[in-house]
Structure 1
Amino acid sequence: MITILGTGAYSSKTLLSAALLRSLSNRGAKAAPFKALVVLRGRDEEPSRNVGSYLPHHLAAARLAPHPDYCPAAVVQTGPTSGRLELQGHLPVDVDLPCRDTVPLSQLRDGMRQALVSSVNDAIDRVVGEHAHVVVEGAGSPVVLDPAEDLPNVAVARRLGAPVVLTGQFSHGTAAAALIGTYQCLPDDIRDLVGGFVIANTPASPIVERSLRQVEASCGIPALGVLPANDSLAYEELYSDEALQLWAGALRRDTDLEGLLKLSEATR
């Protein structure tokens, strides 16, 4: 298993997860994704409904059929800071989103909170029991909420104890600062799980290399490489089968793929 945590929303967690899942699938490995909770915004909702899964890109990467265990819950965004929580077997519940992809558990009534946590725990246990490799993806930032309120990042990482890889998107600027700050603000036990980091959405360059060295020097964790952008792809093409093969190739060429795979095998 391996857990991908980002510096926030739009930090290329899904890109790294999908590239790793396709790389494992290309090797004939039995690999599956897991995301405790996803926030669906605008153009992301329709593909999920069409496929019958909250993780259409991940399933395409792993070449898997839909199953609710891979992502037990979703929040469909209804406004800039509001959404509707969907959990199988329960009526939808309106929730607040203090920032992108962030759902505090404390706002849920006891019954719904317990049902959500139980559903996530049961689903991850089944997925881990049925697959040789599991790529777990967090949601939003793992350091915004009190750790006791953070289900998709902190709670899942604690339950699994799997190695963590941090990812940040260089094109947003301040990637080094975001990675360093995220690492330093993680709870001690989660910080101890971090085995490295990836900077995404940029080609390798001396400027990117400087950021890699800054994070290594400040945090003492290894850079696992750079996942470049592909500006020729439109949004709807980012996770086509052809694009997934390209991302897997980029992962093999521009990152320490073997290091990532060793991390994913560390808890097996």
Structure 2
Amino acid sequence: MVLGTTSGAGKSWLTTALCRYYSNLGLKVAPFKAQNMSNNARVVSSATGQGGTAPSGGSDPAQRRSVGAEIGSAQYFQALAARAEPEVRMNPLLLKPEADTHSQVVLMGQVSAELTALPWRGRSALVWPHIAAALDALRAENDVVVIEGAGSPAEINLHANDIVNMRVARHVGAACLLVTDIDRGGAFAHLYGTWALLPEDERALIHGFVLNKFRGDASLLAPAPQMLQDLTGVPTVATIPMNWRHGLPEEDGVFDDRTLAAGTVHTTVAVVAYPRISNLDEFQPLKNVPGVRLLWARSPADLGGLKPTDWVVLPGSKATAADLAWLRTQGLDQAIAQHAGQGGTVLGVCGGLQMLGEALIDTAGIDGNAPGLGLLPLVTTFEIAKTVQRTQAQFGAVQGPWSALAGVAVQGYEIHHGQTAQHPAMAAKGDVAREVIPGMCWQNAQGNVLGLYLHGLLEDPAALQALFGREGAAPVPTLDAVFDGLAAMAQAHFAPGFLQGLVAQPD
């Protein structure tokens, strides 16, 4: 089990690295995280323990509403690193924040209105049997289960209701690693304080401390690791260097947008970072595309100086109407309209597509009513039924800067309540959106504004090649290459034999 002294310490990437490391040893591996709080979610089959892709249905939006299942993106990628089919038991409980004090609760892949309505401390007894059963089943079917914790295991105000950290560790007798971010400062205090606040039986499960994101000469750390071991009995088993371009999506927030060296950028992609942004991890592959600069836009100044060939992206949102109101408050609506009006390239994904239309209509009380940005002649109606599915589709005739996508077959996933269609009154006046994928993707008459419900377009190799392929350009790293790189880094910085020893069966 990988625990952290804080959020952002490096639990997710190390769990992913260990999934690939143990898989490379020929072991059958599965990831697990009891509870994940994130608006980055992926769609998997609703059947546990079974592979395959959920059927995508027909082109009619009403036919495309199906019962897939949601898990946190981190566990989805960890499963791929483990060479396992992602499924709901790997993340039985997912909390999707909709406001600062409210989250939608997804249990075993499905939204639970009953659990969502309960206070946080009232859920533990109800969800623990599902968590324990999922973990026990994964253990029975695999050689190794690599478990990720959440936040810190020493949050003593939460310990009595814990269902994700030490209760999980105790349930299976997990060999635990405790990771800290040394770049923040205070790493040894974080490690010692976390260890000291745990009960004695839980301390005994910690097999090693890991210093993550280290810059400089590791020999200068002495004698602190030995002093810490003298205090706790726990060795520091790895010092891992800073690697902010590891290629793995960040789980807990917007990722580092440091860019390439001057003179190498041919396209800037500005992603609007509103407060309830969701599925931001799908843009991570752009960081690995040679010549692409990825940045986060939070004010009109962030969009200043963009060329028409540069992109403005409106990503998904867990609270579309609220994020649209925030966007207007910042003045970003005018900046986006100005970029589009000058022929600039604009992309809206899911909630971003809904914002690009004329109006959001919510008679079901799902998200809220709001006027849209008016860049596409569409209207979105929110419904209680939620589309959750993996989808395959093919672009029809596409014009303008998106024309390279014409005829390209892509695959991804959908997670949305809204259903979008042509605005009838605008159609009567001749303002008709070009529907390039039935019920899923539209563009404006000029061709520079594109909106689609499909998440994962920019993760699809065919789409990336169509949009960014250049003669003689360096290839975009594959996910497998990213996973192998993470495993190699872990192997290089742990003591020889230590990681094998964590999963060795007693004689």
What's the TM-score, normalizing by structure 1?
A: 0.83
CA distance in 1, matches of 2:81, 2:99: 30
Structure 2 residue 241 is matched with structure 1 residue 223: no
Q: CA offsets, 1:12-45, max 9 Å, x none? A: 111111111111111111111111011114xx33
Q: Which runs of 4+ in 1 moved over 6 A?
A: none
Whichever of the two has the greater Rg, that structure is 2
AA partner of residue 83 (structure 2): R
What SS does the aligned partner of 2:164 have? helix
What SS does the aligned partner of 2:492 have? helix
What SS does the aligned partner of 2:96 have? strand
Match of 1:240 among 449, 461, 479: 479
Residue 95 to residue 6, structure 1, CA distance change in 2 (3 Å): farther
In the TM superposition, residue 149 of structure 1 has moved relative to its aligned partner by 0.8
AA partner of residue 58 (structure 1): Q
Q: CA offsets, 1:124-146, max 9 Å, x none? A: 11011011111111111111134
For residues 22-61 of structure 1, the aligned pairs below 5 Å read 22-41=20-39, 44-45=40-41, 48-49=42-43, 53-54=71-72, 55-61=75-81
In the TM superposition, residue 95 of structure 1 has moved relative to its aligned partner by 7.5
Residue 113 to residue 196, structure 1, CA distance change in 2 (3 Å): closer
CA distance in 1, matches of 2:10, 2:2: 10
CA distance in 2, matches of 1:198, 1:158: 20
Is the contact made by 1:162 and 1:267 (CA closer than 8 Å) also made in structure 2? no
For residues 44-193 of structure 1, the aligned pairs below 5 Å read 44-45=40-41, 48-49=42-43, 53-54=71-72, 55-88=75-108, 91-92=112-113, 93-94=115-116, 106=121, 108=122, 112-144=123-155, 145-193=157-205
- The structure with the largest strand share of the pair is 2
CA distance in 1, matches of 2:245, 2:173: 38
RCO greater where, 1 or 2, for CA within 8 Å and sep 6 or more?
1
Residue ranges of structure 1 left out of the alignment (5+ in a row):
97-103
CA distance in 2, matches of 1:83, 1:267: 43
In the TM superposition, residue 105 of structure 1 has moved relative to its aligned partner by 5.3
Match of 1:202 in 2: 214
In the TM superposition, residue 231 of structure 1 has moved relative to its aligned partner by 3.0
What SS does the aligned partner of 1:116 have? helix
Structure 2 residue 16 is matched with structure 1 residue 18: yes
What SS does the aligned partner of 1:158 have? helix
What SS does the aligned partner of 2:211 have? strand
Residue 132 to residue 84, structure 1, CA distance change in 2 (3 Å): same
Q: How many corresponding residue pairs? A: 251
What SS does the aligned partner of 1:53 have? strand
Match of 2:501 in 1: 262
Q: CA offsets, 1:163-204, max 9 Å, x none? A: 211111111211111011001111211101111111112255
Residue 38 to residue 77, structure 1, CA distance change in 2 (3 Å): same
Is the contact made by 2:30 and 2:142 (CA closer than 8 Å) also made in structure 1? yes
Residue 267 to residue 172, structure 1, CA distance change in 2 (3 Å): farther
CA-atom RMSD, angstroms? 2.7
- The structure with the largest helix share of the pair is 1
Is the contact made by 1:61 and 1:244 (CA closer than 8 Å) also made in structure 2? yes
Q: CA offsets, 1:53-93, max 9 Å, x none? A: 32122112111111111110111122344422211356244
Match of 1:100 in 2: none
AA partner of residue 264 (structure 1): V
Q: CA offsets, 1:84-107, max 9 Å, x none? A: 2211356244489xxxxxxx952x
What SS does the aligned partner of 2:9 have? coil
- Name whichever of 124-133 and 227-236 sits farther off: 227-236
Residue 223 to residue 249, structure 1, CA distance change in 2 (3 Å): same
Residue ranges of structure 2 left out of the alignment (5+ in a row):
46-69, 248-254, 256-283, 288-477
What's the TM-score, normalizing by structure 2?
A: 0.46
Percent sequence identity over matched residues?
27
Residue 233 to residue 180, structure 1, CA distance change in 2 (3 Å): same
